[in-house]
Amino acid sequence: MVEGTYIFKTNKSKSLSALRRYMKGADEDILEESYQHTRATLDEAPFPSPQVVKEGLDMLSLQYPQAKQTEASLIIDPSFMKRIDDSGFIRALYKK
């Protein structure tokens, strides 16, 4: 995921090509706007977000009410991303 984010953020033509493939029929203005918005919102180090997981659990609880009782922080583990980040891998990737 880290490398995919790097490619998306640093290789616009490749990214637009992928968007074009999955957004069939979208005109170039829509593709450009989608690229710019997505690029701005992607974090270089994508740590899991308890808030995003909580929102997902809230949506899931519409079909499975027990999901509402699940604490988001209990089902995410930021240690993997922390190890990658602490290793310097991400900083080195963006320094290329």
Give the model's pLDDT for residue 71.
Answer: 93
* pLDDT, tens only, 72-95: 999 999 999 999 999 999 999 999
Average pLDDT of the chain is 95
pTM score of the predicted model:
0.78
Domain coordinates of the chain in residue numbers? 2-41, 50-95
**pLDDT of 16 higher than 90:** yes
Q: What is the pLDDT of residue 96?
A: 72
- Residues in contact with 19: Cβ distance below 8 Å, sequence separation at least 6, in sequence order: 26, 31, 34, 35
Average pLDDT over residues 18-36: 95
Cα 1 to chain centroid distance, Å, stands at 8
